[in-house]
Amino acid sequence: MSPRTAALSNLFAVVVAAVAWPALMLQYWLILWSGPIGYATVRYFSFFTILSNLLVAVVAASAATGGNWAPLRFWRNPRVRGLAALCIAVTCLIYATILAGQWHPQGPQLIADRALHYVLPALYLFWWVVLLPHGTLVWRDALRWLGFPLVYLVWTLLRGAVVHEYPYAFVDADHLGYGGVLVNSLVIALVFVVLGLGLVSIDRVLGRHSSP
């Protein structure tokens, strides 16, 4: 990567972080109205949308801040950046195809909704494809990345079994039963794998084109 491209990449990371953190804080403020702060906080972090955007925000901030601190290097790892790209892409896709028609946010909620589901996915994916170095991902990364949504699914079902509340209708075990949730989860896992393989393919192609 040339010095000019690296500087532009860091500048765009600032833009991504500058959009992500206020959007996340706005959504947190809005969800605080749903109940006591402890309950609202756990509920906030129980949405995959929040976790995927938080991952984007941390990855972008780690690039924007510079420095050689070990935790920052972790978030700059190509596989972590690829995971963030995958998760935010799935967030946008699932929302646009399944969830968007199920509610109609207004006012500040509309701003948070559009920022977290459309604006940030577009910004981050542009940054990842156009401005970051490529060529280090391997095909098995698409399977490794399944660990993140798998942990999320386990947490969602455990929490739901206790409080009988689920963040999304397609994982609502109280209404669908665990068999129905399993079927839906397998379909979404397939989406993760297909998109993950697509991201690895993009990385490998761009890596070859950027090689001397």
Cβ distance 55 to 120 under 8 Å? no
Taking alpha carbons only, the member of 52, 55, 60, 54 closest to residue 25 is 54
Taking each helix axis from N to C terminus, what angle separates 48-65 and 147-163, rounded to the nearest 10 degrees? 140
**Residue 211, pLDDT above cutoff 80:** no
Least confident of 25-34, 49-58, 99-108, 164-173: 99-108
The CA distance from 151 to 107, in Å, is: 33
Give the tens place of pLDDT for each residue, 127-139.
999 999 999 999 9
Model pLDDT, residue 4:
78
Which band of pLDDT confidence, cut at 50, 70 and 90, is reported for residue 212?
A: very low
Model pLDDT, residue 1:
66
The domain spans of the chain are 3-210
**Residue 26, pLDDT above cutoff 50:** yes
Per the prediction, the chain carries an average pLDDT of 94
Cβ neighbours around 29 below 10 Å, total: 13
Q: On the CB side of 199, how many CA atoms lie within 13 Å of its CA? A: 31
Q: Which pTM was predicted?
A: 0.94
**Residue 6, pLDDT above cutoff 90:** no
b or e along 148-176 (b: 16 or more beta carbons within 10 Å of the residue's beta carbon)?
Answer: bbeebbeebbebbeeeeebbbebbbbeeb
